[in-house]
Structure formats: C-alpha cells, structure tokens
A and B are shown apart, each in its own frame.
Chain A
Amino acid sequence: MKWTETVLVFIVTGIITVIGNTIGYHHPLSEAAIGYLMLLAVVLLGMAISKYVPLKLPMVFWISLLALLSTSAISPWAKTISYYTGKLDFTAICTPILAYAGLAAGKDLAMFKQMSWRIVVVALAVYTGTFVLATVVAQVMLRIEGLI
C-alpha cells in the first residue's frame, strides 16, 4: 500500500472515530482530533521504522515503543501528548475497528458454514482458557507480591 493511500485511510477512519468519540463520550471534537493526529504521527513513524530498519521485529513493537516513549518521563511533550490523546477514548477507537471487522465478516461466512460445530466449541474453549488461566495466574502473583 502506498503512503498516501495509507494516510487517506487513517484520515477517513479518523473522522469516524472522532465523531463516535464525541457522541459516546462527549469530549470536545477539536481536542480529540488533535489527539488522533498525534497517535497517527506515532503510527506512521512506527510503520516507517519497521519498513526501513533491517531488524526483524513486528510493527506493533515499534509503534508501541514510540508511543510509550512519547509519554514517558524522557519525552519533553509527555504532558501535552497525554492530555490530547486522553480526549480520545479507548473504546471510541475500538468501535470503528469492530465495525470494519463486522463488515469484513461476510467473506468468512461460507467457510464457517462448512465447519463442524465441534471446532466452534473448541474455539470458544481456547479463548476462555487463555483469558481465565492468565487471570488466575495474575491474581495469584499479584497477591503473593502484595500488589493488590
């Protein structure tokens, strides 16, 4: 995908995200838009690094690292970035993502219909197992360490 194309996609989804954010969480539209643009800068920079740096690390690693550093103690803009990105609610970012996920679901339906119900039950067990076991281990560890 070309860079201009990528940026355009982010601008279109950005408009949707910020509108949803205003409806659902009543943050001022302009401040949330600034927050979105800041996150976008982090994402694009992360994508560029993972493309041009020869280290074989997943893109989410670079984006996370940059985002983390941008609001950590070493960043001179930490307060500003935290303020504006704070106006963009986490769940407001998720709603359009899942809307697109839903809109893409139709193409998997044909294959899904051919699947046995047994594998569907197994899939639910897989998600349940990973979430519940990790929660239990975390609960025990946090208790032992006296953090909760």
Chain B
Amino acid sequence: MKVLQDWKIHLGALIIVVICEMIGTRKVQMGPGVLLFLPMLYAMILGGIISWPRLKLISLKEMNVATTVLTLTTFMLVAKLGVIIGPSLAKVAQSGLALSMQELGHFFGTVILGLPLALLLGLGRESIGATFSIDREPNIAIIAEKYGLDSPEGRGVMSVYICGTLFGAVWVGLLAGYLAALNIFHPYALAMGAGVGSGSMMAAASGAIKAVFPEYGTDILMYAGASNLLTTIIGIYFCLFVSLPITEKLYNILSPIIGRGARKTEGGNVNEVD
C-alpha cells in the first residue's frame, strides 16, 4: 500500500501532534490584547521546520504526499462543522441577513485594504491577482483561466497563495485571538469574520476566538462554519463575476493616482521601486 510506504511523513505528523497537544494552549500578554498560541499553530511551525529543505529530513515526494493528505483531512473539518451546525439550523437561519451581509465584508475586505497598499508599494498588475480575493485554490483557477499563471496577475495570485499556505493560518489565528481579547467585537461577529474561505485560516481563527470566549464555544464554531461555507461556495461565483472586474476597474482608477503611474508622471524612476 502506498500510504504505508510514506510512513515517515505520518510518523512525523503523529510526533508533532503529540508534542503540540501536550504543550497545550498558551497566552502571551501583548499591549491591550493577548497573543494566543494554539497547538495547531505550533504544529504548523514544527512541521515547517522539519520540512526545511536544507535539513533533508523529508523528500519532495513526501511533501507532495503531505499535501494530498492535507486536502483529504480538511474534509473532516468540513464534516465536523456541518454536524455542529445541524442542530441549530434555525438559529443560523435567524441570523441569515447578518451572515449574508458580512460576506460582502469577506469579498471586498481583501481589495479595500490590499489594493491601495499594493499600489503604494509599487506593485503593478500583480496587485490585481494578489488582492481580488483570499487567493485559495478556486481563486487561482479563475486567474489562470482569464490571464494565465505566467502573467503578472498570475504571479500575484500565486505569491499570495504561497504566503497563505506558509503562514496564513498563523497570522489570522494570532490576529483573531488578539482582536477577540480586545473585547470590542461580539464573539458571534468575530466568528462570522473567521469564515474567510480557507479551511486552515478559519480553523486557526475560530480556535483562537473560542479560546478567548469558551462559554460561546459551540456558537462560535457554528457561525464560523456557516460563514466559511458561504464564503467558499458563493465565493467561486462572486469572485469571478464581481470581485475580479471591480478590482481591475479600481486598479485602472487608482494606479495613475497612487501607483507606479503617478511616480512616472512626477518624473521619478520606476525601476527604483522594483
């Protein structure tokens, strides 16, 4: 059996999980909030260190196996969230309006903050691919089909995808825990926000929110799960028909004002910012 041939990677995962669960959740006070370190965050970091190419502990083939396993196990997460939502369907339906409206926050939040920043940093058309969505697998397919992955837009989407794979969960997890501990937002609102449309980021975020508000545990997972499901499924269509055209239009409007184009007309050297 192929799976058993790759025993090294599974043994590695088992050892990581045992170590991380034994350490448990840790909190570090930082300013007015708290940095929350969950076992899953150490697991990601420990795994990353073990797979560091220079250490030569695991081969490229084994890393590809890990990716396949990762895709499959994410389905377990989806099923777990489903069985949590099931008994409270009525409650989810009751907040249907809030759930639908906050999806607009998910879809436009990437562009609103990301695009102006990308332009200010001097990025070109990469910024369209980079900021039109959260840039997970279905979004890559959209860019690949429209521009090809060798285009600047394609490089943009792939770069953000890789950042997401490498440290998206750690970042969103820490951010969610910190925001939750500030006590500005209700746990339900944070939970909905956590449904960003990526399994691992959503897991890290809702895990952190749940650790801050343990008394709302089930409701947090319920709202986060419902929101993540909406983001994933509607997102495919929304990103294709709405987000991408809008991002491109905004790029054309903003680029001459704050992007490279602006610097050009001022007589600045464009190459300097590359």
Contacts and interface: CB of A to CB of B under 8 A. Distances in A.
Interface of A: 1, 4-6, 8-10, 12-13, 15-17, 19-20, 23-24, 36, 38-40, 42-43, 46-47, 57-61, 63-73, 75, 78, 81-82, 85, 88, 90-112, 115, 118-139, 141-142, 145, 147-148
B24 A24 contact: yes
Interface string B217-241: 0000100000101001100100000
Instruction: State the majority secondary structure of interface residues on A.
Output: helix
Interface residues of B, number: 131
A39 to B, nearest CB: 4
Interface of B: 1-4, 9-10, 12-14, 16-18, 20-22, 24, 38-41, 43-53, 58, 60, 62-64, 66-70, 72-87, 89, 94-95, 97-99, 101-114, 117-118, 121-123, 126-127, 130-131, 134-135, 138, 156, 158-160, 162-166, 168-169, 171-172, 175-176, 179, 185-186, 188-190, 192-197, 199-201, 203-207, 210, 221, 227, 229, 232-233, 236
B13 A60 contact: no
B113 A125 contact: yes
Contacts of B77: 90, 93-94, 97
Contacts of A92: 21
B47 to A, nearest CB: 2
A122 B16 CA distance: 31
A125 B120 CA distance: 13
Contacts of B113: 125-126, 128-129, 132-133
Given A106-B58, A133-B106, A12 B193 contact: no
A71 B170 CA distance: 31
Contacts of A131: 109, 172, 175-176, 193-194, 196, 205
B12 A103 contact: yes
A81 B45 CA distance: 33
Nearest to B21: A24
Given A43-B75, A91-B39, A101 B70 contact: yes
